[in-house]
Every structure is written in structure tokens, then in C-alpha cells.
Amino acid sequence: MNFFQNVFLRITFIAVFFVAYNENGSAQTVTVAEIQCGECELRLEADPKWEVLTVRARHPEFKLCDIDKESLLRLLNKAFTGNDSLFVRQKFNSVFLGRIVEYPWLSEYLALYAKNDANWSLAKGRPVKARVNDYVASALTSDTLLYDFKKVFAKINYEVLSVSVEKVLVGSCNNIPRYSGLPFKGKIPFDAQIYLILKRKK
């Protein structure tokens, strides 16, 4: 067998493998809705196999996006309009929003919450007692913060139970995107990967 035949067989094997996997293995990720948000394209994707919804933000120049709350709610509302069968047929346990720094209003909320909280050490840049992931998740699991999202998810008979985070980043007020308030000293959380934990109502 010569070199070119060997390469051809390898490529053919890989192609057949992926076709077989897609047909017999997992359900494919589905784009449920998409909108434009400034320079960025926002999409809500559904992965039935892993029971996860994902918000994907794509900038044409691969920069961080600036997603306002209204645009996020608009994306969810669009996704939940006319797609009832998807959310009745398939259960989803969470929605992954991505990085908090792509939501400047959320990053600022988190940073100022920690700044004014006695349970956060500005000097050390960590909670006084709790683990940092638990602290940030608790700070963001706020009825006021989640109110509008609970209303949207109620349309498809889901509850927003809580927030979960990972990979928390800590820095100064200079790290808060679009922050225009008074500068302050100390280390605060300003970024993390964030999930909304969901439960389908019976």
C-alpha cells in the first residue's frame, strides 16, 4: 500500500466513524434562536444528550462581547416562542451563560456585592469562610437578580432554582468591564463561568 492509499483509507475511516457516531451515538446540538447584540451574534443552543442549554456569543473579530440584560432576555423569549415541543419532549437541567465579563452589569453587581460584604476579605481577595465558588454562586442567587429570568423560564414550565459557577477570577475595580463608579481599593470577584440551574415543573 502506497502513501496516498494509506492517507485515503485513514480519511475514509475517520469520516465513517463520525457518521456512525452521529447516527448511533448522541443527539446533535440544535440552535434554538439567534439575535444580533451590538457587534455580536447571540445564539441559544440545546444539547439534548447532556440536557444543557448554552448561550453562545460570537464577535466577528473574536473579541469579548458586551451583552446587556435586555438582549439576553430577548434571546430567551425568542427561543421559548414556538418551540414548546422541544421543551416538553426534552428535559434541560441548566443553561450555560458563558463568562460573566461578557455581561458587564452582572460583573459589576458581583464586584460591588463583595466590596460591601463583611463576609468577603478585600485585602485577601477571598471569602472570610466559604469557598470562592460557593460564595459567588450564593451572591448571584438573588431573587432580585433572577426575577426576570424566572418569568421567562416559567413560560416553558421551568423554574430557575439557583446559580452555579466555576473558574472565578479575582482582581481590582479596573477589571470590572465598563465600570464608571468611584474607584476603590481591594480585590473583588469580577468574572466566572456561570450556569443557571433549572428544574422542569411537573
Per-residue b or e along 44-79, where b marks 16 or more CB atoms closer than 10 Å to that residue's CB:
bbbbbeeebbbbbbeeeeeeebbbeeebbebbbebb
Sequence-distant (6+) residues with CB within 8 A of 187 are: 122, 123, 124, 125, 126, 170, 171, 172
Amino acid letter, residue 73: L
The pTM assigned to this predicted structure is: 0.83
Q: Tens digit of pLDDT per residue, the chain (202 long)?
A: 554 444 343 443 333 333 333 433 445 889 999 999 999 999 999 999 999 999 999 999 999 999 999 999 999 999 998 876 788 788 999 999 999 999 999 999 999 999 999 999 999 999 999 999 999 999 999 999 999 999 999 989 999 999 999 999 999 999 999 999 999 999 999 999 999 999 998 7
Question: Strand 52-58 and strand 94-99: pairing?
Answer: parallel
pLDDT, residue 197, reads 98
Neighbours of 163 (CB within 10 A): 22
| Residues 34 and 44: beta-carbon distance below 8 Å | yes
164-to-13, 28, 85, 133, 136 alpha-carbon distances in Å = 40, 25, 27, 8, 8
14-to-10, 25, 28, 168, 177 alpha-carbon distances in Å = 6, 15, 18, 38, 43
pLDDT, residue 89, reads 82
pLDDT, residue 3, reads 45
